[in-house]
Chains A and B, each alone.
Chain A
């Protein structure tokens, strides 16, 4: 009996300690939870709610259900934005990630005294504020005084001197994309390099002993090893493209026409320029859902590949 009583007493103490630990952990997590609830989850829920209202922000809210969504799919600007972000996602993954991989591989595989400097140069574009990057982009592509146009004038290439990179709807998207590739690839390069430098040197030596070329080494050893890092970058790339706003807005304000408009620009214009908060919130919801779907797809595909 005495033994049993002692055991139950110690069990009680253990439970109390456990409860104390749980409470302590809960209190530690509470500020972060509150922060997330107020600044992340509540705005998401509120955005869903506003997307079902018709409101200018100043007028009273009128419940319209899914009408804003229905109208969005007849809205030329929104549809152009949707097309552009899908293109942006596709071309970012097809161009930016492979380009970053090869640059990172080159800097790691052929590492020398210049590697550090080159790494800094590639990363520099990533740390520049978007406004500066956009200004540099405009300096490159502007008509009359832009760098490319000036080169065209100096070399007597009329076709280049008279090309309106940012004013021609067929070229504007690609002009912005080139600047974005330069600006955003730096992050992926650094990320890939960090992972590549963790691959044991023995593997490379063994591959070299087996006569593997640099390309073969990259394909058979580095690429599989980086699959998770690439997946992370692909997700970041996708979500970033869906939310894209700053560079196209600063370089072309989404024009000419709707040639470079994105979902982010469309959201801003509907909400803050056209005073149509319901439609703007609906675009926000579309961006949220698309980001969620793309992220789930990419991780599901990645998991299947891993197994």
Chain B
């Protein structure tokens, strides 16, 4: 009897140790992301993605690390350079930055597994490099004009349908002591969206040609766009202190009705729809084309991945778990909680009027040009933003500034092919 009791005791002890380990996760996916998975409107998707995936896949443990911005980019870059300590999955905007990691042989080719996942073509294109798919982009952002409908209504203004109409609208707004455009150029990148649009409207696919080294960055469309930009800056359309204001300040100008328009990405839809953030009524519109003399159309849209994930070679032995995660990230269930982004996944309904309008702009796109500062090689992206910021300095000769930038591109990308 004594022996039997001891045996039972041993079995119980063994059970206590062994049973939990049988149920415990047998795969751990380390994911590096930007946002903390909390209740903030911007972070809801990441929060629900992790919680939802974990609930559905108890055998896969998610070790999510929020690194912030630019922490995510910096840490990813340093780790990729060293080649050790790579996460299994990392958040990325795709484009050339992701392409650089792929070229270095650090990314996991998921073409076969992900090519049939339903989603927008542009989003898949952003996560594709040299014909191989490395991840998914559940959300996409497009640049457009956020317009304060209340201010426009009060002063009897109409949203410009041609570039030429901006002058009249902006002059009227200035006469009413309202800043026409919010910008936040202290952060350097916020001015890019408008410059990309102006360049496209003057020269169509000039940016694609320049990056393919068919034309230089100081050719006509780039110079004309910069000149018009600088004229608008000098006229005060961006306020009197655009270089002292950060992107957050620009949002505040819109939120308080001190500025009437903001040309930026649709990622702002959630915030601009949030009554706790602003009491103004805003709308989202496509950037117009020139009435005459232009090449680009209002259907040429600038934008890129808003949230994307790519997998690294570190996850080669856990490919099944990675694919499960990627597919879940692209599911209606995971995406439906996001309050404001444009979703690449069919069947996810927009949560606000602004997102609906932004989604319509995205849907109308005939061409999508990716953000230059994400799509060009990193060696020239920061100087590009510096160059655009220099347009805001009245003494800058924009042609000279673009010629300096072109010289840098010749050094880093190569000369223009004749």
Using a CB–CB distance below 8 Å, which chain A residues touch chain B? 56-59, 71, 76-77, 141-144, 162, 164-169, 252-253, 255-258, 269, 272-277
Whether A56 contacts B243 in the complex (CB less than 8 A), given A256-B186, A256-B389, A257-B389, comes out as: no
| Distance between Cα atoms of A253 and B246 in the complex (Å) | 11
Q: Are B393 and A58 within 8 A (Cβ)?
A: no
Number of B interface residues, CB 8 Å?
Answer: 37
Q: Are A77 and B100 within 8 A (Cβ)?
A: no
Q: Which residues does chain A contribute within 8 Å of B160, judged by CB atoms?
A: none
Which of B78, B81, B103, B186 interacts with A167 by CB under 8 Å? Answer: B186
Q: Which residues does chain A contribute within 8 Å of B380, judged by CB atoms?
A: 274
Taking the closest CB of chain A, its distance from the CB of B313, in whole angstroms, is 13
Which of B100, B104, B188, B379 interacts with A253 by CB under 8 Å? Answer: B188
Q: Are B379 and A58 within 8 A (Cβ)?
A: no
Taking the closest CB of chain A, its distance from the CB of B246, in whole angstroms, is 9
Contact with A along B369-412 (1 / 0, CB 8 A): 00000000111111100100110110010000000100000010
B80 interface residue (CB < 8 Å to A): yes
Whether A275 contacts B241 in the complex (CB less than 8 A), given A58-B81, A58-B103, comes out as: no
Q: Which residues does chain B contribute within 8 Å of A164, judged by CB atoms?
A: 240-241, 243-244
Taking the closest CB of chain B, its distance from the CB of A259, in whole angstroms, is 9
Q: Are A257 and B188 within 8 A (Cβ)?
A: no
Q: Are A168 and B244 within 8 A (Cβ)?
A: yes
Q: Are A253 and B77 within 8 A (Cβ)?
A: no
Q: Which residues does chain B contribute within 8 Å of A57, judged by CB atoms?
A: 77-78, 80-81
Interface set, chain B 173-206, CB cutoff 8 A to A: 185-188
Taking the closest CB of chain A, its distance from the CB of B354, in whole angstroms, is 25
Taking the closest CB of chain B, its distance from the CB of A118, in whole angstroms, is 33
**Mind listing 26 A-B residue pairs with CB under 8 Å?**
A56-B100, A56-B378, A57-B77, A57-B81, A59-B104, A71-B411, A76-B404, A141-B244, A142-B244, A144-B241, A144-B249, A164-B243, A167-B241, A167-B243, A255-B188, A255-B389, A256-B243, A256-B389, A257-B389, A257-B390, A257-B393, A274-B380, A275-B77, A275-B100, A275-B378, A276-B379
Q: Are A58 and B404 within 8 A (Cβ)?
A: no
| Distance between Cα atoms of A165 and B241 in the complex (Å) | 9
Residue of B whose beta carbon sits closest to that of A76: B404
